[in-house]
Structure 1
Amino acid sequence: MNIFPFQALACPLDGEPLHRVGASFVCASGHCFDVASQGYTNLLPVQKKRSLDPGDSKEMVAARRRFLNAGHYAPIAAAVARATLADLPAVAVTTCLDAGCGEGYYLRQLAAAAEREGQTLALLGLDISKWAVLAAAKQDKLPTWVVGSNAALPVLPGTLDRVLCMFGFPVYAEFARVLAPGGLLLQVDSGSDHLRELREIIYPSLKPPREPDASSPEGFARGKTECVQYSIEIAGVEPIADLLAMTPHLYRASAEGRARAAALTEITLTVDVRLTHFLRTAGR
């Protein structure tokens, strides 16, 4: 495999470079972070947590793993991999962060695509949920997996070539800090028709779609937006429940709406997402 260890981690306490020493990452100040036996490292200090167990629960992570591994979002992963690998030099190591990596599906698909194309990557998967990072590390040992927050990425400034933000919570100031000039942020968001058929079942009515923000965050120039739209058929009570469990709709819907979803045995759904390119500009 053409996947190298990620070498640009920063200490979450003082920002100094972290170096791998045995089964730990250590900075010059002596702060030490152990690599768990499962292959991930917790770089989210307890004083920076907003709750005891932030992020997705163990159950939500398991539902997402089952749904994604069934291939329902494979066209999204393929589009992201193509955009990530486009125009890369053939002999360099490209550094890529998945900011909010979940259980690692998109990084695994990216690694497979890089292998087919002969590209060499150093991959970092980060999520605030320890359950997500644990699941990611169990499925693939080659990327570097860390528990951390997009609000304070444990990454050295200007060291990344690519950042992925998949249905996540973008923190543009942090993304701009860690991306090198000319680096690329690839952001995937739901389109207006995404899972519309399911939303029509669980909600009394749908809110009018919001117009996409056409502005460019500070430090970035907006590039093209690709639309990925297709239909999927999901059969079975459990796969439908997995889909609902991995979305915010599980908590936003009323009890009656969740009951209507639980009664489904099959459904045809529209997948509708936007993949927006943001180029890191020089300067701040």
Structure 2
Amino acid sequence: MIVVTAPTGNISRQVVQNLLQSGAPLRLIARDPSHLAEEVRDNVEIIKGSHGDASVVNEAFSGADAVFWLVPPDPKAVSVMAAYVAFTRPAVAALKEHNIKRVVSITALGRGSPLANRAGHVTGSLAMDDLIADTGVAFRGLANPSFMDNIARQAAVIRDQGRFFMPISGDLKLPSVATRDVAAVAARWLLDDSWTGQSEVPVLGPEDISFNDMAEIISDVIGKTATYQQISFDAYKERFVQYGMCTAMAQGMTDMAWAKDHGLDLTVSRSPENTTPTTFRRWCEDTLKPAMLD
């Protein structure tokens, strides 16, 4: 039995689809099961509730072999550490209680970098990994750079204003990965019951690419000019606050972007093993362009 958390989110939703194709027995923890597709609800076991709740994870982990762990966004959390570490503590206790054999988690690049201790959400994510690993469970942390899919959040702005925004230098080439590739890697690890030990698994996408490079590709795919505009870190933080995020979490997003601008995501050397197939152009064609039509 494989337990999947946050199954209505972008990554976990795709993990579920990949696992369903394998025929593996699945148990999903969902706050609102009605948000799951009908074909999913008909083919899985569902535990209703939050995976930050001790009673929920105890029920869900009973008799399970593996867990896919992903912390959901909490724009109102009192701190980044509360959002990651405090949220995960009940699950850590349940992992021990129910002798879970394997955990695959979504995490971030940056371990070992001097920037990692002041990188906002990355710092919280790495602390969460340490908490899970301290249980002794076999663990794989899928260490990701920024997701291509984050650009889709600005699809309407690209469509209407012909530009998109970040505080990171437009010429800095960084790894970027499509969530579909992350989900495929996660499913492979979850379906493989032969591994033991603990390690990170970098998932770097197909190439390092700058935001200016992205703007050129977007322009070509959508057939009109799109430009990248670098904004200040203060303006970046204020945008999150305007959208309803609390100050602490907005600062966490800003600190993460600052660390990435200083090379946090360049701490892992690219190899065939950590390179994934979906190019930014392909992602624009399949995901961004359709999103601009919504």
TM-score for the superposition, normalised by structure 2: 0.35
